[in-house]
């Protein structure tokens, strides 16, 4: 049963976290400061007040536009805030306490990585490496695999995709797979153990194939230069792949 109070608190915490994480997603790839610079309108530069920064509600009240210049507020803000709120509500609602907080943190990190890879094909070490560390520490209280299985999973996840990336580069003479993908799969191995990796990879590959087929259905050109955000697919497939592995293994 879900705990309504814990779910509410998790949703609020998620919306607040999402407000910061959305700013991080928008500013970080552009080299802009995430912490030092105050929040301001991208259109007119007006420094935003507290009333402008209430997650989701401010944008809805202002109909998605700046109160001063009428510039459109990037919808990514609301989407990430809503996504983090849902993750926090589910995590804390079903597992109140530290376990739920750990799941929420895991989900928020995966959401940021998924969006960054979708928009920029970028999985920064500053997120994938802490995710792996959390899997080997906090994850011990959240998921079942033994520490040895996690260590094997971290190594197997990383080196398997590293081998694929190296082989592709030697055969084709160009990069075909980023090492961020390898580090992310290693981090998932640290959370769920080596047993879950085949199922996560299978689910992620299926998602990537469906994305390509969807592009074809929309009439988009697909060739050898077409890029697929594998990191996004891995992030989306992580929990379903782990859940299936627990049912089969």
Q: Tens digits of per-residue pLDDT, 52-65?
A: 566 767 767 676 67
CA distances from 210 to 163, 224, 242 (A): 24, 16, 20
pLDDT band at 222 (very low <50, low <70, confident <90, very high): confident
Domain boundaries in the chain? 1-96, 121-249
Please state the rounded mean pLDDT for residues 83-95: 96
User: Do 248 and 199 meet the contact criterion of CB atoms below 8 Å apart?
Assistant: yes
C-alpha–C-alpha distance, residues 106 and 163, integer Å: 26
Task: Give me the pLDDT at residue 163, please.
Answer: 94
Query: What is the model's pLDDT at position 63?
Result: 66
73/107: higher pLDDT: 107
Model confidence at 49: pLDDT above 90: no
Say if residue 183's pLDDT is above 80: yes
Is residue 246 within 8 A of residue 193, CB to CB? The reply is: no
Q: Is a pLDDT exceeding 70 seen at residue 71?
A: no
Task: Give CA–CA dist 121/231, Å, rounded.
Answer: 8
Say what the pLDDT of residue 221 is.
75
pLDDT at position 241 over 70: yes
Q: 166 Cβ partners below 8 Å, 6+ apart?
A: none
Given pLDDT bands bounded at 50, 70 and 90, which one contains residue 174? confident
Cα distance between residue 218 and residue 221, in whole Å:
9
Alpha-carbon distances of 225 from 26, 173, 175, 180, 211, rounded to whole Å: 26, 13, 11, 19, 15
C-alpha–C-alpha distance, residues 23 and 61, integer Å: 19
């Amino acid at each position: 049963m879900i705990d309504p109070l814990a779910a509410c608190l998790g949703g609020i915490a998620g919306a607040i976290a999402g407000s910061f994480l959305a700013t991080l997603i928008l500013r970080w790839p552009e080299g802009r400061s995430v912490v030092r610079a105050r929040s301001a309108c991208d259109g007119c530069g007006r420094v935003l007040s507290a009333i402008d920064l209430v997650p989701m509600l401010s944008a809805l009240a202002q109909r998605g536009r700046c109160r001063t210049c009428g510039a459109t507020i990037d919808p990514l803000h609301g989407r990430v805030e809503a996504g983090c709120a849902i993750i926090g509500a589910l995590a804390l609602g079903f597992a109140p306490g530290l376990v739920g907080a750990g799941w929420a943190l895991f989900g928020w990190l995966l959401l940021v990585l998924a969006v960054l890879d979708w928009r920029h094909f970028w999985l920064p070490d500053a997120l994938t490496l802490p995710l792996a560390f959390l899997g080997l520490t906090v994850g011990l209280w959240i998921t079942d695999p033994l520490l040895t299985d996690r260590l094997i999973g971290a190594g197997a996840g990383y080196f398997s995709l590293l081998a694929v990336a190296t082989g592709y580069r030697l055969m084709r003479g160009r990069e075909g797979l980023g090492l961020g993908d390898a580090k992310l799969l290693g981090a998932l191995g640290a959370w769920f153990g080596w047993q879950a990796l085949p199922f996560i990879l299978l689910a992620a590959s299926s998602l990537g194939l469906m994305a390509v087929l969807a592009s074809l259905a929309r009439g988009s050109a697909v060739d050898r230069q077409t890029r697929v955000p594998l990191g996004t697919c891995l992030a989306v497939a992580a929990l379903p792949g782990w859940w299936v592995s627990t049912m089969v293994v």
